[in-house]
Chains A and B, each alone.
Chain A
Amino acid sequence: MKRKYDVIIIGAGPAGMSAAISLRKLNLSVLVVDEQPAPGGQIWRAVERVASSATGKILGDEYRAGETIALRFRSCGAVYEPDTQVWKIEPGWNVFLKHNGQAEAVYAEQVILATGAQERPAPFPGWTLPGVLTVGAAQILLKTSRQIPSEPVWVVGSGPLPILYMAQLLRAGGKIAGWVDTSPPGGWRKALPWAGAAISDWYEIGKGLTWLHEIRKAGVRRVRGVTSVRALGDGQLEQLEYTQSNGSTVRVNASVVLSHEGVVPSIHITQSLGCKHTWSTQQSCLIPVLDEWGQTSEPGMYVAGDGAGIGGAKVACERGELVAIGVAARARRLDSAVAEQRALPVREKINRLSRLRPMLDALYPPRADILKPSDDTIVCRCEELTAGDIRKATAIALPGPNQLKAFTRAGMGPCQGRQCGYTISNIIAEAQQKPVAEVGFYRVRPPLKPITLAEVASLNTDEG
């Protein structure tokens, strides 16, 4: 007998957990699946194990707040299945899971995607060398392994996350060799339109300034006005090279370089389902088109959390709650007038918590050279294709991203565009003199993540 639920939630981070808690209060049957072994998503990763430890203190209050949510989630009555991957979703909805080598199809009336975000791909020459990681990766290592770079680390990038991580690293006793701050000079001028929001959200601004202060106090060398960087080494990272706007090039020794140019919603599943997306010039990325309840263009398929647009953990929790109200109303388990009433304060909170976001986006846009990588930069990590390879292929009769994929294999590796999709679309946009919003994106094919043939074959296909 195929398992059936009112709702399946994919992702047990802030949004997924909040949605589950709210749905359970309304007595809907809920299955939550997540590929991690414990709840928390990325921002609250390993929070149950780590919150009350010394590392938890280093990570701070925002991190530790996840422990309470995780507790409420565990006891809300949702069926929670960690170490479980979703590899396909078919209309109906039939969600194909994989756990312990066994595939299974589970039916749900409605599905909430709470798969969060990922760091924006930021290619530069040498970024595939062992020793180059994202800032997010380093923070995950701190959270899940109490692990820090063993030598003074170089950080390249901009945004709240590198600033937070550097402060956490210093608190943990780590050392920073330097920070190539790629935020554009004069960013504060661009951010002025939102100064009002900044003043009324002084607590959030204050936090960010505190981290910056910690970094400055530690004497971290901050390099600005860098136009390009390059990682060098024979089989493993050995040096970082950066070029400044005056043309001078500096080389420094580095065994670990951490890179970050912002965070973008995870659109993998929504793309695979053919949901409509729109290009956000504010965040330089695609965002699924959602109605006021978080429903995508596919009825009964919702997105909650950072996947709906980057907002952070608090916004994600509110969005989870809002989607739960919408889902319950659509399932007629909640009167629509009551739903509207309950949604009001949640929407207000979301608006309030989101006020600072445009300012952050203006302060920390992705640096120019990741949108126009040099010819020798690997842009498709899986297939080891350079920007030069892609540019050559754009000359064969103005292909779109899918024809280009067919010609070059870009996007055919296991990541299926998670690390290269935007870069390829940007290269096409430049070559064809089009706005990137008009270029389109790869079609994302199932499986959502590679799965063994044996696992697919283990699927029980006799059931209707």
Chain B
Amino acid sequence: MSKEYDVIIAGAGVVGASIAYGLSGMNRRVLMLDGADTDFRAAKANFGLVWAHGKGVGHAGYQRMSLQAAKDWSVFAQQLSAESGLDIAYQQRGGLNFSLSDDEFINRTKLIDAWHSQTPDLAPSTVMLDRSELLRRFPSLRLGKDVVGASFGELDGHVNPLRLLAALQKTFLQRGGELRNNHKVTSIKQLAGGGFEVSAGNYRARAERVVIAAGLGASSLGSMVGLTVPLVPQRGQILVTERLAPLLPIPASGLRQTAEGTVMIGVTQEDVGYDLATTAEGAARMIRKALRIMPDLAKAKLVRQWACLRVMTPDGNPVYASSVSHAGADIAVCHSGVTLASFHASEYAKALVSGSLPASLGIFHYGRFNVQKTA
């Protein structure tokens, strides 16, 4: 038994759901197929930062994309919250990245300068704040003695990543989209007359186009339609505390206080394969760093620790590509699905509808990983 759809999206995580949300807003009939309740689901271990500052060092294209996405997030959030009826708790008041020694501060300053000079046509969006300037801007902050200063990105913010996903899925369904959980895509076949037949076990459905947004599962699905994207898992462990009275007015890299009052601390970057175990040693490491920034947190109770696998491409930047051998099949993978949600829901979805990706997205093709340098 099969149905006709305009697009089938493999993967209903934050990347898939943002694309689906965008497509359904352009009156496309969309089916999203997602896996089981206990599958990897990188969307569940996102720290919740909507972040531009420092993204794409050495890759101006990714830098621009991140900056634009951050700029567009406010409108995206408003529309999504209004239509879904869910408060996704988005706040954009800037974000910090703390330096815990003079050397760190100096190096960070150089990095941000270099980062700014990648896009000389854009006004700088990040400033370096020394300790006294930090305390002047955020008088309620009680910083550890090691804090020398921080870089402050004006465009940065944070959101509840779980609510974001719920809102995207809910709105998608409200608009008539179809979402099937426990239907992990097992094969994608090109049909003779055009279009694709997508299978999830015994279930089959047909669509004009297919988008693979299946996180770490995207590699194997991509190879079925001529899209070979190398991906490796990178483990990230996260910690969250009990709900606390307000103490962190804006998010920082690796430390943020949520709208509920809990404080999230993160994140490790471990190459351990497909291992989702958490480690006490990882927790101790992350906590020690957080306590150097905010010693008051020492008394807070840790309530949960969990881990997920980041979807890492060889250079850490996103991959967007349209298949040549299987026209109509696309792949979209990245590890910053939250920040790029505004982009996936609008520009990227529009590009899919138009039938071809703009030239500006060419730099994100996976072919860049096979570039042979000739002398």
CA A286 to CA B170, docked complex, whole Å: 32
Q: A402 at interface (Cβ–Cβ under 8 A)?
A: yes
Pair B302/A457 contact, Cβ less than 8 Å: no
B38 in contact with A400 (CB, 8 Å) = yes
- State which of B54-62, B279-287, B343-351 sits at the interface with chain A: B279-287
A353: interface (CB < 8 Å): no
Using an 8 Å CB-CB cutoff, how does the interface string of B193-235 with A read, 1 for contact, 0 for none? 0000000000000000000000000000000000000000000
Is the CB–CB distance between A401 and B37 below 8 Å? yes
Contact indicator per residue, chain A 214-248, by CB within 8 Å of chain B (1) or not (0): 00000000000000000000000000000000000
Contact A406 B305 (CB under 8 A): no
Asked if B65 is an interface residue, CB under 8 A from chain A, the answer is: no
Residue of B nearest to A89 (CB): B280
- Which of A66-74, A291-299, A357-365, A410-418 lies on the face that meets chain B? A410-418
Closest to A445 in B: B304
B300 interface hit (Cβ, 8 Å): yes
Q: Beyond A396-B169, A440-B37, is A461–B285 a contact (Cβ under 8 Å)?
A: yes
Does B106 count as interface, using CB distance less than 8 angstroms? no
The count of residues in chain A whose C-beta lies closer than 8 Å to any C-beta of chain B is: 37
Contacts of A1 in B (CB 8 A): none
Given contacts A90-B279, A90-B280, A461-B281, contact A397 B301 (CB under 8 A): no
Does chain A have a CB within 8 A of B306? yes
Which of A398, A400, A440, A445 has the largest count of B CB atoms less than 10 A from its CB?
A: A445
Nearest chain B residue, comparing its CB with the CB of A404: B37
CA distance in complex: A413, B304 (Å): 9
Residues of B near A399 (CB, < 8 A) are 37, 181
A250 beta carbon closer than 8 Å to chain B = no
CB atoms of B287 and A414 under 8 A apart: no
Contacts of A451 in B (CB 8 A): 301-302
Q: Which residue of A lies closest to B300 (CB)?
A: A453
Contact segment of B93-101, B290-298, B366-374: B290-298
Shortest A449–chain B CB gap in Å is 9
Q: Is the CB of B180 within 8 A of A400?
A: no
Please, which residue of chain B has its CB at the minimum distance from the CB of A440?
B37
A407 touches B162 (CB 8 A): yes
- Among B36, B166, B182, B300, max chain A CB count under 10 A is at B166
Cβ A446 vs Cβ B305 within 8 A: yes
Over the window 242-283 of chain B, the binary record of Cβ atoms lying under 8 Å from chain A Cβ atoms (1 yes, 0 no) is 100000000000000000100001000000000001111101
The answer, among B37, B277, B299, B306, for a CB contact under 8 Å with A403, is B37
Cβ < 8 Å to B, chain A residues 444-460? 445-447, 450-454, 456-457, 459
Q: Once bound together, how far apart are the Cα atoms of A436 and B161, in whole Å?
A: 29
Q: Residue A88 at the B interface, CB < 8 A? A: yes
Say whether B181 contacts A456, CB under 8 Å: no
Q: In whole angstroms, how far apart are the Cα atoms of A433 and B285 in the complex?
A: 45
- A380 proximal to B (CB < 8 A): no
C-alpha gap A105/B280 in the complex (Å): 9
A94 to B240, CA, bound (A): 22
Is B38 a contact partner of A450 (Cβ separation < 8 A)?
Answer: no
Given contacts A88-B280, A459-B284, contact A453 B302 (CB under 8 A): yes
CA distance A407 to B12 in the complex (A): 14
Which residue of A412, A413, A453, A459 has the most chain B CB atoms within 10 A of its CB atom?
A453
Judge whether B122 is part of the interface by a CB distance below 8 angstroms.
Answer: no
Q: Does B365 contact A (CB under 8 A)?
A: no
Whole-angstrom distance between the Cβ of A301 and the nearest chain B Cβ: 15
Evaluate whether A406 and B162 lie within 8 angstroms (CB atoms) in the complex, with A400-B36, A457-B291, A459-B284 already known: yes
Task: Give CA–CA (A91, B277) in the complex, Å.
Answer: 10
B164 CB to nearest chain A CB (Å): 11
Closest approach, in angstroms, between the C-beta of B263 and any C-beta of chain A?
9
A406 to B38, CA, bound (A): 12
**A443 lies within 8 A of chain B by Cβ:** yes
A393 to B281, CA, bound (A): 36
Interface string of A405-438 (1 = CB under 8 A from B): 0110100111010000000000000000000000
Which single residue of chain B is at the shortest CB-CB distance from A403? B37
* A409 to B262 Cα, complex, angstroms: 12
Which residues of A have CB within 8 Å of B169? 396-397
Chain A residues with CB under 8 Å of B288's CB are 457
Q: How far is the CB of B200 from chain A (nearest CB, A)?
A: 14
Closest residue on chain B to residue A428 by CB atoms: B37
A268 CB, min distance to chain B CBs, angstroms: 13
A96 close to B (CB within 8 Å)? yes
Q: Is B109 an interface residue (CB 8 A)?
A: no
Contact with A along B135-151 (1 / 0, CB 8 A): 00000000000000000
B287 interface neighbour in A398, A416, A453, Cβ under 8 Å? A453
Cβ B300 vs Cβ A397 within 8 A = no
Q: Say yes or no: B278 contacts A414, CB within 8 Å.
A: no
Cα distance A407–B181 in the bound complex, in angstroms: 15
Q: Does B241 contact A (CB under 8 A)?
A: yes
B44 beta carbon closer than 8 Å to chain A: yes
Question: A397, A398, A402, A454 — which one has the most chain B CB atoms within 10 A of its CB?
Answer: A397
- In the assembled complex, the Cα of A414 lies from the Cα of B302 at a distance in Å of 9
- In the complex, the chain A residue whose C-beta lies closest to that of B285 is A461
Task: Report yes or no: A453 in contact with B298, Cβ–Cβ below 8 A.
Answer: yes
Q: Name A447's closest neighbour in chain B (CB-CB).
A: B302
B155 contacts partner chain A, Cβ-Cβ < 8 Å: no
Question: What is the interface of chain A, defined by CB distance below 8 A to chain B?
Answer: 88, 90-91, 94, 96, 103, 105, 393, 396-403, 406-407, 409, 412-414, 416, 440, 443, 445-447, 450-454, 456-457, 459, 461
Q: List 17 A-B contacts (CB under 8 A).
A: A94-B280, A396-B173, A399-B37, A402-B44, A406-B165, A412-B240, A445-B304, A446-B280, A446-B305, A447-B302, A447-B305, A452-B300, A452-B301, A453-B241, A453-B287, A453-B299, A457-B287
Add 5 more A-B contacts to A397-B179, A446-B304, A450-B303 (CB < 8 A). A396-B166, A397-B12, A400-B182, A453-B299, A456-B302
